Amino acid sequence: MQKILVFGHQNPDTDAITSAISYSYYLSQSNQEVEPEPVALGPVNPETQFALDYFNQPAPRVIETAANEVDLVALVDHNESQQSVSDIKEVSVYSVVDHHRIANFETADPILYVALPVGCTQTVIYQMMKFAGVKPTKEIAGLMIAGIVSDTLLFQSPTTTDQDKKTAEALAEIAEIDLQAFGLDLLKAGANVDDKSALEIAEGDAKSFPMGDYSIRIGQINVVDVADVLKRKDEILAVMQSESIDHSYDAFLLVVTNILTNDSVGLYVGNENLQASFEAAFNTKIDQQTLDLPGVVSRKKQVVPPLTKAIED
């Protein structure tokens, strides 16, 4: 069997980490051609650690490169090269399982590519498991639930589909947990920012997106009170500015989301020429590098699409 590394995107969130674990399990149970190992492109965050501890599972080891270990990799919860391992062009992609847009992705050979417009990669993986007759263990089912709850904000995000809800309910029976109680505890575990550095707040769940001729960095952090972040606004903006200079981002938007009210506030640094596009995308004004984002909770559905349209039009 050929060794294969399975991983999600950089700055991994709960879906990225747990999908690497569940997809590796799926491959091990349904495919005899590869020997999968779930790995991560960064350390786990507190929310993900809560899920791993709850189900007594170890965190995947962190890698910086893949080509020094294997020739073959599998991608979950992403496909865009700038979000993947640094040497992605030096390895072959065995498969992709995702729920995001497809951008700047190509391979030399045919591959298995499974993507569905649902709220979480785990929902896609569960459908693959059902088709292949693979039943997750109690622990794997629990981690899959964690991914769904995290990405859908306990089904409050507009990215949530009926398929996500039904999948989570089915997995909750296997995991033998109270879905709502576990989900709320999971989200609260990731909402404490008091012990995070400004860099961790800004970059903990940040992704880069090419939009027109620009490189746009978009981070997101979930809280129970946006004041916990805004009281450190100057410190965080300074870090965002420094990161933008170091990595040539044309703009950096941090979306601070209140998981109780399902509203957000944005912090912005960037090219002055882009400010009008950001204001147009969200129909608001940027005041002292801050913008109100009422009802915005999904980066994938409510931030990236309108911003891309505003910049590229």
Find the CATH number of the domain harbouring 235.
3.10.310.20
- DSSP for residue 190: T
Pair 180, 71 in one domain: yes
| Per-residue confidence (pLDDT) for residue 260, from 0 to 100 | 86
Q: Which residues pair with 222 in a beta bridge?
A: 257
Looking at the structure, do residues 179 and 52 belong to the same domain, yes or no? yes
DSSP bridge partners of 216: 209, 251
Tell whether 64 and 164 lie within a shared domain. Answer: yes
How many structural domains does the chain have?
A: 2
pLDDT of residue 195: 86
CA distance 219 to 206: 4
H/E element, 310: helix 304-312
The reported pLDDT for the residue numbered 60 is 98
* C-alpha separations of 190 from 71, 150, 221, 257 in Å: 35, 9, 9, 12
pLDDT of residue 264: 96
Asked whether the beta carbons of 130 and 106 are under 8 A apart, the reply is no
Domain endpoint, select from 191, 220, 246 = 191
Query: 176 with 202, same domain?
Result: no
How far is residue 160 CA from its own chain's centroid?
14
> Which residues lie below 8 Å from residue 52, measured CB to CB, with a gap of 6+?
17, 44, 58, 59, 143
pLDDT of residue 33: 86
Instruction: State the pLDDT at residue 108.
Output: 87
Q: Considering only CA atoms, which of 120, 104, 117, 172 is closest in space to residue 141?
A: 172
Residues 100 and 233 in one domain: no
pTM of the model: 0.84
241 and 292 assigned to the same domain? yes
Identify the H or E element spanning 26: helix 14-30
* Backbone dihedral angles phi then psi of residue 37, each to the nearest 5 degrees: -130, 125
Residues 307, 235 share a domain: yes
Nearest partner of 76 among 154, 14, 134, 8, judged by Cα: 8
Strand order in the sheet with 2-7: 34-38, 2-7, 72-76, 92-98, 112-115
The pLDDT value recorded for residue 192 is 87
pLDDT tens, per residue, the chain with 313 residues: 899 999 999 999 999 999 999 999 999 999 778 999 999 999 999 999 999 999 999 999 999 999 999 999 999 999 999 999 999 999 999 999 999 999 989 898 899 999 999 999 999 999 999 999 999 999 999 999 999 999 999 999 999 999 999 999 999 999 999 999 999 999 999 888 988 999 999 998 999 999 999 999 999 999 989 999 999 999 999 999 999 999 999 999 999 999 889 999 999 999 888 999 999 999 999 999 999 999 999 999 999 999 999 999 8
> What is the CATH number for 115?
3.90.1640.10
Expressed as residue numbers, the domain containing 222 is 198-312
